Structure 1
Amino acid sequence: MPDALPPLIALRTFALVAETGSLTAAGARLNLTQPAVSRRIRELEAALGVTLVHRGANALRLTDDGLRYAAALQQAFGAIAAATLALQGAAAPPLRVRAYTTWAMRWLIPRLPRFRTRHPGVEVEVVTSTTPVVDFAREGLDAAIRSGPAGAPPARGAVRLQQVDVAPYAAPGAARLGLGQLTLLGSRVRPRDWACWFAAAGLPIPAAPPLLFESSSLAIQAALEGLGAVISPPGFVEEDVRRRRLRRLSPVLAATGDHYWLLLPPGAARDRGDAFWDWLLDEVAAMPMETPSPPALSSA
């Protein structure tokens, strides 16, 4: 074994390049420019006397040596992370994430066991709020989820997660009556979702306004009890559909124009949230994709 290892920061830089597949993405994690990341990789290659990365005009890929070295480094850094968590033990506070109630209950929390598998020992505390302002320091937050228009991020540096698309659902017994015979259920937080859906479907908006609940969770529960048809993103009710507790009433999927956004605290305070950020983006990328229906043509 050599007396001296390459600089730890160079090894970490290469491991992040291998993990992200991008000099730019690795630089964002390290608060470095792309040229600075490239320079560290070249210095590491020079120290090792081995080419780790093939550089192309528009992309890079690891060499065979680079792939083997990256796999070993990922195991090593994983062992360091696990040892650090074990050393900190109960003293390490949970990762505190603020989100909307329905998104937390119906999308995030069912997936958290996979985060625990990927990051054993890292606990996630979920708090809910619809307050538009996020004060990371005062609230002690490591990450927050906000919604807003696609072209207007709710904060500088916000990362776009999911487009908010909606479709109608009802319990099987109620679904047999047809949408026109059902009470429309929705949320006061998102009062225009039904109007968006009827416009996308090319149907007139019913004269009777939707029955709006305090949250989408309550509206979904009301639909499960057979009280009417709820408008919801498919991801919120996928388990209920799979277990046949709810049935989708139309193939039309309407884009509301909103997105969910991930916010992290600025500067060094964001380090704790990086693992959550990476995992969350992987979960979103793994979701089945469904393209919203094009706007219906007017009959006028």
Structure 2
Amino acid sequence: MRRVLPPLDSLWTFHMVAQLGSLTAAAAALGVTQPAVSKRLKDLEGRLACALVQRGVNAISLTPLGRRYAGELRAIFAQLEEATRNLGGEAAPLRIRAYTTWALRWLIPRLPRFRASHPDIDVEVTTSTATVDLAREGVDAAIRTAPAARRPAPGARPLQPVMVAPFAAPSSLPSGAARRATDDPLLGSKVRSGDWRLWQDHHGLPAVSPLLFESTTLAIQAAMEALGTVICSPAFVRDEVRAGRLISLGEAPLPTGDRYWLILPRGRVRPALQIFANWLMEEAAAEEETSIDPVRGKNPCQG
């Protein structure tokens, strides 16, 4: 039977061009020259007898056939990468991608419990706010926020709801003063830049723009240095509140309408990842049932 499969390097080159949208970027990722990428594309189009890309003066775009072919190749290469990872054995560390603050203040403090129960499973945590492609980036699972009513990916599992409330350093408030969220400069993060506006709208407060830091972790630190009032999840500052480094401004946490989601790969999930996913779901559920707001004695996941 006559083979119709083009050379693998040509297929991978087209896949990278489709993913990155640029001959230059694809050449850099592949470690070859741009003319080499262009030649592989032309050879592939010649073998397939169809145009996959449209070439402009300073840019390229995929043809309709190219978009369809790129989508099919993306799924095929994802399956190949998953099969290759599975050959690495179950002893390979789990690679989890998450937001910096969630990883630092929620996940990592709980990992000792996971290690105690599953000492044979190692977990590596990396952080990013960018959209993640599990197969292309070699990540086993990711944590992302999205509206509670809309899954960010097929098969995504819901974790805890995103709740927010204001917190400030005791030293930033005059002795005996009423504790209000609007007394100091407002602090937030670029990742969740709209949380203060949600709070203001909910409480009928005038719109005041916050100072936005690169991450919620930085905004929390700024609040502890008495630079203002931070809005964040009560779970992120529970230890600081108990230690008296931050105080809650007496307001019940506000549901934002978002939720943290656990994104898993499509298809077969290796046993170690399934164990971790189940544990993560249990930890999130336990927090939702037992977390207590330090001021009002309320469950912050219930508002």
Structure 2 letter corresponding to 1:239 = D
Are 1:95 and 1:122, in contact at CA under 8 Å, matched by a contact in 2? yes
Task: Name 1:261's counterpart in structure 2.
Answer: 261
Describe the superposition over 1:115-170 as per-residue Cα deviations: whole angstroms up to 9, x where unpaired: 101111211100011112x2222222221101011111110000110111100001
Unaligned runs of 5+ in 1: 1-89, 294-300
Structure 2 letter corresponding to 1:201 = H
Structure 2 letter corresponding to 1:95 = L
Describe the superposition over 1:217-244 as per-residue Cα deviations: whole angstroms up to 9, x where unpaired: 1101111111110000111111111111
* Per-residue deviation, 1:197: 1.2
* Per-residue deviation, 1:270: 4.2
TM-score when normalising by structure 2: 0.63
Are 1:169 and 1:249, in contact at CA under 8 Å, matched by a contact in 2? yes
Unaligned runs of 5+ in 2: 1-88, 292-298
Q: How many residues align?
A: 201
1:290 aligns with 2:292: no
Distance in 1 of aligned mates of 2:121 and 2:198: 39
Are 2:90 and 2:270, in contact at CA under 8 Å, matched by a contact in 1? no
Distance in 2 of aligned mates of 1:223 and 1:198: 19
Percent identity over paired residues: 54
* Per-residue deviation, 1:180: 3.0
Task: Report the 3-state secondary structure (helix = DSSP H, G, I; strand = E; otherwise coil) of the residue aligned with 1:196.
Answer: helix
* Runs of 4+ off more than 6 Å: none
Distance in 1 of aligned mates of 2:173 and 2:151: 37
Distance in 1 of aligned mates of 2:283 and 2:230: 25
Task: Name 2:110's counterpart in structure 1.
Answer: 111
> Map of 1:7-26 to 2, 5 A cutoff?
none
Task: Name 1:165's counterpart in structure 2.
Answer: 163
Structure 1 letter corresponding to 2:119 = P
Are 1:170 and 1:224, in contact at CA under 8 Å, matched by a contact in 2? yes
Structure 2 letter corresponding to 1:290 = P
Distance in 2 of aligned mates of 1:128 and 1:170: 26
1:228 aligns with 2:238: no
Task: Report the 3-state secondary structure (helix = DSSP H, G, I; strand = E; otherwise coil) of the residue aligned with 1:278.
Answer: helix
TM-score when normalising by structure 1: 0.63
Are 2:146 and 2:152, in contact at CA under 8 Å, matched by a contact in 1? yes
Distance in 1 of aligned mates of 2:254 and 2:95: 32
> Map of 1:187-266 to 2, 5 A cutoff?
187-206=189-208, 209-266=209-266
Task: Name 1:28's counterpart in structure 2.
Answer: none
Are 1:252 and 1:292, in contact at CA under 8 Å, matched by a contact in 2? no
1:149 aligns with 2:159: no
